Structure 1
Amino acid sequence: MLNTMKKLNLVELSGALCVLLLGVAVMVIARDYPMGSLSRMGTGYFPMILGALLLVIGVVLVFEVARSTEQVVVRIPFRPILMIGLGIITFAFLVERAGLVPATCALVVLGSLAESPFRPVTVLCIAAAMSVISVLLFVKALGLPLSAFGG
């Protein structure tokens, strides 16, 4: 008799269980908020629905992983994780000290280093566009107390 027992993909199973547990946690936290009704939603209505959706998605994922027969090799993408994390930290550090424009440019440049090949002209165009949009949206339209340059 052949051994037809398959191995569970523990990485995918742990991801599915995380989604399921996140849904349960959101629902547990949301139970203390007033639900309201469909026409007059309370503060707990949306989190409860979101938690229920996450729970359902998690259950479906667990069953999918249990049925799956293919094994997935997981490679952790260290460079994107490092560069995007560094970009966010740099933005947070620079936004009050150097201003919104330099912080946005630094974020775009560091974020673009997460992917190869590095295209400097494209990155500079995106950084300039994002800086202009950020100043127009956050400083001018929303009136946030940020300066474009220097703080």
Structure 2
Amino acid sequence: MPFQNAHAPWERHLGSIALLVCAISVLAIGWSYPAGSITQMGPGFFPRIIGFLLLGFGTLSLISEFKTTSEAPGRVHWRNIGFTAASVLAFAGLIDKGGLVPATFVAVMLSKFADRDARPLDAAIYTSLVCLGAWLLFIQILGLPLAAFGRG
């Protein structure tokens, strides 16, 4: 059944439009900073890259929405939204006091349980591997001033 909404059929395009608005905003703000070059990046280099990527994804998304007929939106998956939001909040709350590894562990474990089929042992193994990867990448390889455990 094609998308039917008597009130506002354009609502299915809101996500793409929001992405395009964000892209234009990022580009407008980033354009006021010097971009530099690829070897000497200025403060406006990365915002421009992100802005153009968002612009591309938003445009592709909008085009695909016009080319396809979709079903009416289904029910809202509150479990997914709740666990994902909780994982982001837990990471933000734990990173300073607990360190990178505990904050990552709690955040990833919470996000894994957004899936009803998640099994505790699989989630624990996956989460441990993500923590190891985060520690290797951010602390060992990139040398970011983050404490692995507790305050640095």
TM-score where L is the length of structure 2: 0.68
For 1:87, what is the secondary structure of its paired residue? helix
Cα distance, 1:111 vs structure 2: 1.0
State how many pairs are aligned.
145
Cα distance, 1:119 vs structure 2: 0.7
* Aligned CA distance change for structure 1 residues 88 and 72 (closer, same or farther; 3 Å): same
Cα distance, 1:146 vs structure 2: 0.4
Cα distance, 1:10 vs structure 2: 2.6
Letter of the 2:96 counterpart = E
CA RMSD of aligned residues (A): 3.3
For 2:94, what is the secondary structure of its paired residue? helix
Write the mapping of 1:92-131 to structure 2, written as runs, cut at 5 A: 92-131=92-131
* Aligned CA distance change for structure 1 residues 96 and 68 (closer, same or farther; 3 Å): closer
Task: List gaps (5 residues or longer) in structure 2.
Answer: none
Partners of 1:73 and 1:23 lie apart in 2 by 25
The structure having more radius of gyration, on CA atoms, is: 1
Cα contact 1:87–1:106 (8 A) shared by 2: yes
For 1:136, what is the secondary structure of its paired residue? helix
Cα distance, 1:64 vs structure 2: 4.8
- 1:17 corresponds to: 17
Task: List gaps (5 residues or longer) in structure 1.
Answer: 1-5
* Aligned CA distance change for structure 1 residues 97 and 11 (closer, same or farther; 3 Å): same
Cα contact 2:108–2:127 (8 A) shared by 1: yes
* Aligned CA distance change for structure 1 residues 71 and 31 (closer, same or farther; 3 Å): same
